[in-house]
Amino acid sequence: MRARLRDIADQASVSEATVSRVLNGKPGVAESTRQAVLTALDVLGYDRPSRLRRKSAGLVGLIVPELTNPIFPAFAQTIENSLAQSGYTPVLCTQVAGGVHEDDYVTMLLERGVAGIIFISGLHADTTTDSDRYVALRERNLPLVLVNGYIEGVDAPFISNDDVASMGLALEHLVSLGHREIGLAVGPDRYVPVIRKIAGFRHSMQELTGRPDVDDLIERSLFSVEGGATAAGRLIDRGATAVVCGSDLMALGAIREARKRGLNVPRDFSVVGYDDSTLIAFTDPPLTTVRQSVNAMSAATVRALLDEIAGQPSPRAEYVFRPELVVRGSTGAVRRH
């Protein structure tokens, strides 16, 4: 025990007697000294005595889609860290095709008495979803925050990336490189972010290239590598020299399909992704992509939820965050024939 006390005392720069007083809950120790000893315990990997452990302010549910797309783990990790720093214990619920449904997760979280729930790209992003499931939760006074999606009639704050601006950033870049036949590869258009991306694509193509009709340049597929490859193949067949994708995974599929056809990226075909998820800077070639403001969006999400829990609700609005274009090696000047 003395060796342990000595280690803690050395780490905290206090005496062993002071460490003993803190561990035994004795008076006469300054709060700053007490915190230094507790921090030393944590740093050295010792368990705090039960009465000195941090009290959890409660559980918070965090429901995210599948984790194969790296953007969702990025949101989850950032939000979980912020919740933990505020004293809350996050409960991560991951959805997969054919797995536990969002409604089932909600039931489980309610049974555990969660203080609130954060939904990331959940059913609220699907225009075919009935809003009643969220309305019922709000009628129970359960605090909610919904990220990247929007559904009318729900009394809760919404946090979203600016999908319309994202298309403008990507197309301005490609047009500056001489591209005019630019395709858009996105997921099913029943999802709010997809609808907004398509609207932004139409608007920016009109503004930047003067094309009022771009239906033949829009491909709806799956948000996956395979979906991106399929969409890119169809666009290449129609003469597209570049493609903007609805996710980084789709962009990787587009690059794979271009190479399969003997095209060089970016010399023959340019590709822009969306998200700037982990490791995308290290692909071959490094991917030009639209970066979501994960840190800022996550901070706003946690702040909004904590305000809701504290009975100080945020204004009922959708908070839209402007993205950033990160230019790397997958885009280049159009080839002149």
CA dihedral over 148, 174, 70, 67, signed as positive or negative: positive
Lowest mean pLDDT among 3-7, 245-249, 258-262: 3-7
Distances (CA, A) of 10 to 18, 23, 46, 263: 11, 15, 14, 62
pLDDT digits (tens, 9 = 90+) for 81-125: 999 888 899 999 998 777 789 999 999 999 999 999 999 999 999
Q: What is the DSSP string of 54-122?
A: PPP-EEEEEEE--SSSTHHHHHHHHHHHHHHHTTEEEEEEE--TTS--HHHHHHHHHHTT-SEEEEES-
Distance of alpha carbon 96 from alpha carbon 66, whole angstroms: 5
Contact 182, 171 (CB under 8 A): yes
Neighbours of 18 (CB within 10 A): 22
Q: Which two tokens stand for residue 44?
A: 């050295």
- Give residue 114's Cα distance to chain centre: 22
Distance of alpha carbon 281 from alpha carbon 63, whole angstroms: 27
Share of the chain above pLDDT 70, in %: 96
pLDDT digits (tens, 9 = 90+) for 204-231: 999 999 998 999 999 999 989 999 999 9
Average pLDDT over residues 36-55: 73
- pLDDT band for position 52 (50/70/90)? low
Q: Which amino acid is at 295?
A: N
- pLDDT band for position 1 (50/70/90)? very low
What mean pLDDT value characterizes the chain? 91
Average pLDDT over residues 29-49: 80
Q: Is the pLDDT of residue 263 over 80?
A: yes
Task: Give pLDDT, residue 174.
Answer: 98
Residue linked to tokens 């590869």:
185
pTM, 2 dp: 0.82
Q: How far apart are the first and last CA of the chain?
A: 79
Task: Give pLDDT, residue 102.
Answer: 92
Contact 276, 326 (CB under 8 A): yes
Task: Show the beta-strand stretches assigned E in the chain.
Answer: 58-64, 88-94, 116-120, 144-147, 158-161, 182-186, 218-220, 242-245, 270-275, 288-291, 318-321, 324-326
- pLDDT band for position 317 (50/70/90)? confident
Task: Give pLDDT, residue 36.
Answer: 84
Task: Give pLDDT, residue 77.
Answer: 92
- Closest-CA residue to 152 (of 187, 133, 124, 116): 124
pLDDT digits (tens, 9 = 90+) for 120-172: 999 999 999 999 999 999 999 999 999 999 999 999 999 999 999 999 999 99
Average pLDDT over residues 301-308: 95
Distance of alpha carbon 176 from alpha carbon 208, whole angstroms: 10
> CB-based burial of residue 252 (10 Å sphere; 0-12 exposed, 13-18 middle, 19+ buried)?
buried
Q: Is the pLDDT of residue 190 over 80?
A: yes
Task: Give pLDDT, residue 99.
Answer: 74
